[in-house]
Chains A and B, each alone.
Chain A
Amino acid sequence: MNILAVVRLVPDLVEPLVVTAEEDNLNWDQTAFTLNESDDHAVEEAILLKEKYGGHVSVVAFDFGDIDQVLYMLAAKGVDRVIKISWSHDEPPNSLEVARTLSRLVPKLNVDLVVIGCQSHTEFLGMAGPQLAVALNWPYVGVVRGVQEGGTAGRWTAFKEYPGAVLAQMEVSLPAVLGILTASQPPRYVPVSRIRAAAQSVRFETADTPAEIEEPPVKIQRVYLPPAVTHAEMLTGSEAEVAQRLVDILLARGVLK
C-alpha cells in the first residue's frame, strides 16, 4: 500500500506569540515553528501500516520555516520518499491552500491512502483533511486513532473517536483520506545520530509551486492577546497573615458571614 502523509509546521506555543504592530496577524518572523502534533501521529501510523502490511510511505510538506530538519527526522523514522512543495510566503499555508495544492499533486503520486493530522492549533476545526478529500472526491474519516486491514470487500478499518471516549469502527474503501488524531502507538523517538545520517543521505523531491493565493473569503480584522480581566492574587506572609487575608476575602465575597 502506498501511503502519503501530510505534515505541517505550526507555531510553537512554548515560545511567546508575538502579534504584529498592526495587529493583523502573528509576527511570523518572530514565531518559532514545530511539527504539528497530529501530523506526527499521522506519519507514525503510516509507518506502522507499512511495517505491518508492507508498502511505501511518502511525506509531503510545504517548504516553510525549518521544515528540512523535520523531514530529516521523518526520513530517519522510516519514510521512503520526501516531497517538498515550494512556498515563498511569510505565513504558513491555510487549510484551503493545503487542500488545493495537494489535490493537484496526489493524483500524480499513485497513492492508496492519504493521512493527515485531524487538527492543529492553527486550524481548530481540522478542515484540511475534509477539504482535500472533497477536492479528490475520496472518502474521509476524521479523528482516527488507528487503522487496520480487514474490512469487508477489501475495505480497511479505521477506528474513530467520538466525544465521550466512544470508539467507532469504520469501514472505508481506498483510496481515502484519513484525519489522524493519534497513531496506534506513540510516535517513536529518533536518535540524533539517525537524523544526522538521514541528512547526509536523503534527497528531497520538489513539487510545483501552487498557484497564487486566492483572496480568502474570510479576512482577519484584528489579532491580539486578550487583556487580562481578572487575575489570581498570591497570598504571602506568615501562616497567620495568609489565614487572616483568606478570611477577609471570604468575608468580602460573602462566603463567610
Chain B
Amino acid sequence: MVPSRPTFWNIPAWSEILQYLLGAGVVVFIVWVVIRHIRCWRKGTREPVPRLGAEVLKQALERLARFVLTPQRLQSDPYAFITHLGLFWGMVLLALGTAIATIDWDVFHLIFGVRLLQGAFYRVFELVLDVAGVALLIGLVLAVVRRYVLRPSRLTVPQFFGESWESAVILGLLLLVTITGFLIEGLRIQAGLMLKSAAVIANTPENMGEEGVRDATAAAAASVAPWSPVGNLVATIFRGLDASSLRQAHLVLWWIHALAAFAFLLAIPVTKANHLITAFLNVILPSSSELPTASPTIKQRIDGVLPSLTWRQRLEVSACTACGKCQEVCPAHRAGYAFTPKGTVWATRGVLMREVWPWWPATAKASEEHVWLNKDAIWSCYTCRACEVQCPVLVRHTNLVVSYRRPLVDESALADGLQEVLQNLQRYGNSFGQSPRKRADWTKGLPFAVKNANKEAVHYLWFVGDYTSYDARAREVTQTIARIFNAAGLDYGILYEKEKNAGNDVRRIGEEGLFEFLRDENLRALESATWQAIVTSDPHSYHVLRNEYGLKKPSPVGPPASTEKPHEAVGKNSNTVASQALADPPGGNGHPAKHNGDAAPLVWHVSELFWELLKSGKLTVAKKLDRRVTYHDPCYLGRYNEVYDAPRAVLEAIGCHVVEMPQHRENSYCCGAGGGRIWMKDRPGIRERPAETRVKEALSLGNVEDLVVACPKDLVMFQDAVKSLGAEDRLRVIDVASLLAQAISPDIKSQD
C-alpha cells in the first residue's frame, strides 16, 4: 500500500460529522464578524488611493516581500524578528498544510476517490509541516518568555483595555494547538507502527471496511514516519501504551486539538490576531502619506471620541498589534509626555472594536476622559514620523494624530501657545505676528539686491520661509545662503511680502482651513511669478511645497523665459490643485516619494542645490575646513522626503569629516519643533526636551566640533539646548550653509 495521509484515523463517524458542523459554525461566525469589520471600515470617509495598475501591483508585491514575508522592520530587534519569523512562517505553512489536507480528503478523496497526499509528496508534506510546527513552537515559547518573563516596556502600557487578555488567549490557544498537534501525530505514528507489525497492511482494501482501510493507511504511513521527525520522536514516548490506550488518548487529544484550533479561528476576527488579515491588507493596499482633507460639513466626532477617519485609517488601526516599536522611538514618550503613538492607535482600535463587536470592553465615552486620546496626549506629538518608519504593519500614526487634532481645533481646545500663533497666521501670514512688509527685511543687510520674483523672471524662486525670514538667528543663515547663491551666479529671486507661511505645521496642527488659505495665497503669488524651480532652506516648507501644493513641473526646464510663464501647469484654483495633489499622492508609508535620480526636481532643498552647484563647478571650495562634525537629519527633510545624502555630500566636499550619531538618517531623533510643537509650551516636569537629548547624543560622540543642521528650527532648538546644557564650549550648532560659506570663500560672512 502506498503510504498516504491517514486522515481521520481513529475518528468515529460522529466525531467527524461533529467536527464538520463545528467547522461550518466557525466559518459562519468569522464571515459574520468580517462583514462587521468591513462595515466598520466603510463608515470611514473617502481616501483617494492611486489607481490600480502595473506600478501599483509591483509596489504591492515589493511591500509584501519587505514587510510581510521578511518583516524588515523587525530586524533591528533580533529577538522579535526570530519570534515573528517562527510564528509567521510556522502558521503560514501549517495553514497551507491544513488547506492541502482538506483538499486532499474532501475533494480528491471524497469526490474523485484518489489521494493527493501520498508517496513522495506526502513525505515532503510531513517533513515541511513538522518543521513548521517546530518553528511555530519556538516562536510561541520565545513570545511567552518575552511577554511574561522579560517584559520589555514597549509591550506593556497601563490602561490598555483588551491587550493583556488578547495576547494570553492567542498564545495559549496556539500553544495548545501546536503541542496537541505533535502529540496526536506521535500517537498516530506509534499506533501505525503497532498496526504495521500486526500485518494489517497485508489485507486488501476490498475486504477491510472503512475502519480497516484507515488502520491500514495509518500502518502504511508509519513506514514513512522518519519524514515526520518530531512526530516520530514524540511517538517514542507512547511505546509503553497498548493499542486501546493509544486510540483513547489519540481521540481525546484530537478533540482538544480541534477545539483549540476552532477557538483560535474564532479569536482571529475579535482579537489582535486579526492582524493576520488586516496587516496583510494594510501592507499590500496602496496608501498615501498625504493627509486626508477635512471638510467642515463632516461630523467632527463620533460618540464624543473618534474624529472623522478615512476608511483606510480605520483599516490600518485594526492592523495594529500593539508591538510598541513606535512607542520606543517616540520623542514625546521619551521626553515624558503622556503620549505614545501606540496608545493613540490602540485606544482608537478599542473604540472601533466596539463598533465591530458589541461585547468589547467599554472605553471612555468622551475623548477628554481617555488617557491616550485627551488633548494633552494629542498635542504632545511632534509628527516626526519616527514611529511610522518603525511600524511593522505600516500604520500612519501622524495622520491619525492630525485627525484627532482637527476636532480639537474646531472645539478651540488648543494647546497653550497655539492660539496667538494661529491668529497671527490668519492675520499676517506668519507665525511671528510681524508685519508682512518686514518679511524681506533680512535683505537689507546684504551688499547686493535680491530680485523681486513678483516683478521679474527668475530661474530659482527662493521660498524663504517664516523662521528664516523673521527669527534673528535664522536670518543670519538666510543672508549667508543669499551670499552663496550670489557667489554661484544663481538666477534667483524671492516673493517679498507676497510670501506667506507655507502652512506645513499649520496642517499638522489640524487647522486645515488655515492651511488651505495660506496655500492658496502662496499659489496665487507663485502663479503670478515666472520661475523654473523652487528652492527653500526650510524642510517644513520644502515638504509641503513638494508634496501638498500640487505644483507641476514647468516644461521645458531651461533658462527663464521673459514673456511666457513656464509654470502655467500649476492649477489655477485651489480645488484643482488640491485634487491633483490627492490624485497623485507622493507615496504612502513605507514608500515615500524620492527625489533621488530625478535630474531636475521642481522643489529643491538648499542642501540639494548646494551639492548640485558644487558638482557642476559653479561653487568651488577655496579652503578645506578639516573639521569633525556630526549631521542631524531634519524629520521633514529625511524621513518625510528621504533627502539624506545631499547635506552629507556637501559636508564631505568642504573637508568635513562626518561622524554619525547613533540615531541618524531614518532613525534620526526629532529636535522637538515639528507638528507645531515649536509654538506650544513645554509641560512642566517632563524628563528632558528632545533637543537636549539630541545634543547629548552629539556630545556623546566625544570628538566632534559641530552639530550641523539643515533646518532653521533645528538651529534655534539646538542652540538653546546647547546653552541650557552649558555646552557652548564643547559643541557649536551651525547650519550647513554657514560651513559651506566658510569653505567657498572666507570673505562670505557666515553665522557661526
Also in contact, A192 and B517, with CB within 8 A (given A14-B428, A34-B427, A197-B296): yes
Q: What is the CA–CA distance of A65 and B129 in the complex, to the nearest angstrom?
A: 80
Residue of B nearest to A77 (CB): B412
Q: A34-B427, A189-B409 are in contact. Are A14 and B435 (CB under 8 A)?
A: yes
Per a CB cutoff under 8 Å, which of A15, A34, A186, A191 touches B513?
A191
B242 within 8 A of A: no
Asked if A5 is at the interface (CB within 8 A of a chain B CB), the reply is: no
CB-CB < 8 A to A188: which residues of B?
412
Q: Are A196 and B296 in contact (CB under 8 A)?
A: yes
Let me know if B434 and A191 touch, CB within 8 A: no
CB within 8 A of A195: which of B418, B437, B513? B513
Write the nearest CB–CB distance from B118 to chain A, whole angstroms.
Answer: 68
Q: Does B511 contact A (CB under 8 A)?
A: yes
B410 lies within 8 A of chain A by Cβ: yes
| Main secondary structure on B side of the interface with A | helix
Q: Which B residues are in CB contact (< 8 Å) with A194? A: 296, 410, 513
A16 and chain B: residue at smallest CB distance: B435
**B residues 501-530 in Cβ contact with A at 8 Å:** 511-514, 516-517
Q: Most chain-B Cβ atoms within 10 A of its Cβ — which of A14, A186, A188, A197?
A: A14
A188 to B418 Cα, complex, angstroms: 11
A190 within 8 A of B: yes
Inside 8 A of B433's CB, which chain A residues have their CB?
14
Q: Determine which of B412, B426, B428 lies in contact with A192 in the assembled complex, contact meaning CB atoms within 8 Å.
A: B426
How near does chain B come to A11, taking the closest CB pair, in angstroms?
A: 13
- Is A88 in contact with chain B by the CB < 8 A criterion? no
Closest partner residue, chain A, to B412 (CB atom): A188
Query: Is there a chain B Cβ closer than 8 Å to A193's Cβ?
Result: yes
B-facing mask of A9-49, CB < 8 A → 1, else 0? 00000111000000000000000001000000000000000
Which residue of chain A has the shortest Cβ distance to B424 in the bound complex? A14
CA distance A191 to B507 in the complex (A): 12
Please provide the chain B residues from 409 to 452 with a CB less than 8 Å away from any CB of chain A in the complex: 409-410, 412, 414, 418-419, 422-423, 426-428, 433-435, 437
A13: nearest chain-B partner, CB-CB: B435
Q: How far is the CB of A77 from chain B (nearest CB, A)?
A: 9
Is B602 part of the binding interface, using a Cβ–Cβ cutoff of 8 Å?
no
Query: In chain B, what residue has the closest Cβ to A196?
Result: B513
Decide: A189 and B422 in contact? CB cutoff 8 A.
yes
User: A15 — which chain B residues lie within 8 A by C-beta?
Assistant: 435, 437
| Interface: B294 (CB within 8 A) | yes
Which residues of A sit under 8 angstroms from B412, Cβ to Cβ?
A: 188-190
Which of A14, A190, A192, A197 interacts with B434 by CB under 8 Å?
A14
Give the CA-CA distance A194 to B516 in the complex, in Å: 13
Decide: A186 and B419 in contact? CB cutoff 8 A: yes
- Identify B423's interface contact among A189, A193, A197, CB under 8 A: A189
Is B435 touching A193 in the complex (CB atoms < 8 A)?
A: no
In the complex the two chains form, is B513's CB within 8 Å of A192's CB? Answer: yes
- Give every chain A residue within 8 A of B514 (Cβ-Cβ): 191-192
B266-297 residues at the A interface, CB under 8 angstroms: 294, 296
Set of chain A residues within 8 Å of B513, measured between Cβ atoms: 191-196
Contacts of A193 in B (CB 8 A): 294, 296, 410, 512-513
Chain B positions within 8 Å of A16 at CB level = 435, 437
Compute how far the CA of A197 lies from the CA of B423 in the bound complex, rounded to whole angstroms: 18
Within 8 A of A (CB), among B348-362: none
- Are A192 and B435 CB-contacts (below 8 A) given A34-B427, A186-B419, A197-B296? no
- Taking CB atoms, residues of chain A closer than 8 Å to B422 are 189
Within 8 A of B (CB), among A165-212: 186, 188-197
* Shortest Cβ gap from A128 to chain B (Å): 24
Q: Which residues of A contact B437 (CB under 8 A)?
A: 15-16
Residue of A nearest to B296 (CB): A193
Question: Can you name the residue of chain B whose Cβ is closest to the Cβ of A73?
Answer: B426
B300–chain A nearest beta-carbon distance, Å: 10
Q: Which of A34, A188, A193, A195 has the most CB of B within 10 A?
A: A193
Complex Cα–Cα for A131 and B516 (A) = 43
CB distance from B31 to the nearest CB of A (A): 41
Cβ of B435 and Cβ of A191 under 8 Å apart? no
A220 to chain B, nearest CB (A): 26
Instruction: Report B-chain residues with C-beta under 8 Å of the C-beta of A197.
Output: 296
* Interface pair A191/B428, CB less than 8 Å apart: no
CA distance A177 to B426 in the complex (A): 31
Min CB gap A253→B, angstroms: 29
Shortest C-beta distance, A17 to chain B (Å), equals 12
B-chain residues with CB within 8 Å of residue A191 when the two chains form the complex: 296, 409-410, 511, 513-514
Known: A186-B419, A197-B296. A192 touches B410 (CB 8 A): no
Q: Which of A14, A186, A192, A196 contacts B511 (CB 8 A)?
A: A192
Residue of B nearest to A186 (CB): B419
How far is A16 from B427 in the complex, measured between Cα atoms in Å?
Answer: 15
Map CB proximity to B onto A92-128 as digits: 1 under 8 Å, 0 otherwise. 0000000000000000000000000000000000000
Please indicate the chain A residues that have their CB under 8 angstroms from the CB of B511 in the complex: 191-192
Q: How far is the CA of A196 from the CA of B511 in the complex (A)?
A: 13
Measured CB to CB, the closest approach of chain B to A33, in angstroms, equals: 11
Indicate if the CB atoms of B414 and A189 lie closer than 8 Å.
yes
B423 partner residues in chain A, CB cutoff 8 A: 189
Q: Complex formed: what's the CA distance from A195 to B426 in Å?
A: 11
User: Complex formed: what's the CA distance from A65 to B511 in Å?
Assistant: 26
Inside 8 A of B427's CB, which chain A residues have their CB? Answer: 34
Report the Cα distance A194→B295, complex, angstroms: 10
Contacts of B296 on A, CB cut-off 8 Å? 191, 193-194, 196-197
> What residues on B are CB-neighbors of A196 within 8 Å?
296, 513
Closest A residue, CB atoms, query B294: A193
Closest to A197 in B: B296
Chain B residues within an 8 Å CB radius of A34: 427
Say how far B676's CB is from chain A's closest CB, in angstroms. 13
CB distance from A196 to the nearest CB of B (A): 6
A190 to B422, CA, bound (A): 9
The answer for the CA separation of A48 and B490 in the assembled complex, in Å, is: 56
Instruction: State A15–B512 Cα separation when bound (angstroms).
Output: 27
Q: In the complex, how many angstroms separate the beta carbon of B443 from the nearest chain A beta carbon?
A: 18
Cβ of A190: which chain B residues have Cβ within 8 Å of it?
412
Task: Kindly report which residue of chain A lies nearest to residue B406, judged by CB atoms.
Answer: A191
Residue of B nearest to A190 (CB): B412
Cβ of B445 to closest chain A Cβ, rounded Å: 14
Q: How far is the CB of B131 from chain A (nearest CB, A)?
A: 58
Tell me the bound Cα distance from A233 to B150 in angstroms: 65
List the A side residues contacting B410 at CB < 8 Å: 191, 193-194
CB-defined interface of A207-242 with B at 8 Å, one 1/0 digit per residue?
Answer: 000000000000000000000000000000000000
**How many Å lie between the Cα of A53 and that of B199 in the bound state?**
95
Most chain-B CB neighbours within 10 Å: which of A186, A191, A194, A195?
A191
| Complex Cα spacing A90 to B427, Å | 22
- Give Cα A197–Cα B296 distance, bound, in whole angstroms: 8
With a cutoff of 8 Å between Cβ atoms, the chain A residues found around residue B409 in the complex are 189, 191
A193 to B410, CA, bound (A): 9
CA of A196 to CA of B419, assembled, Å: 18
Bound-state Cα–Cα, A186 to B434, Å: 22
Q: How far is the CB of A12 from chain B (nearest CB, A)?
A: 8
Hey, which chain B residues are within 8 Å of A195, CB to CB?
513
Cα of A16 to Cα of B513 in the assembled complex, Å: 29
CB-defined contacts of A192 to chain B, threshold 8 Å: 426, 511, 513-514, 516-517
A-B contact pairs, 22 of them (CB 8 A): A14-B433, A15-B437, A16-B435, A16-B437, A188-B412, A189-B409, A189-B418, A189-B419, A190-B412, A191-B409, A191-B410, A191-B513, A191-B514, A192-B511, A192-B516, A192-B517, A193-B296, A193-B410, A193-B513, A194-B296, A194-B410, A197-B296
The list of the 9 closest CB pairs from A to B, nearest first, reads A192-B513, A193-B513, A188-B412, A193-B296, A192-B514, A189-B412, A189-B419, A15-B435, A14-B435
- Please list the residues of chain B having a beta carbon within 8 angstroms of any beta carbon in chain A: 294, 296, 409-410, 412, 414, 418-419, 422-423, 426-428, 433-435, 437, 511-514, 516-517
Apart from the given pairs A189-B418, A191-B409, A193-B410, 9 other A-B contacts in the complex at a CB distance below 8 Å:
A14-B428, A34-B427, A186-B419, A188-B412, A189-B422, A189-B423, A192-B516, A193-B294, A196-B296
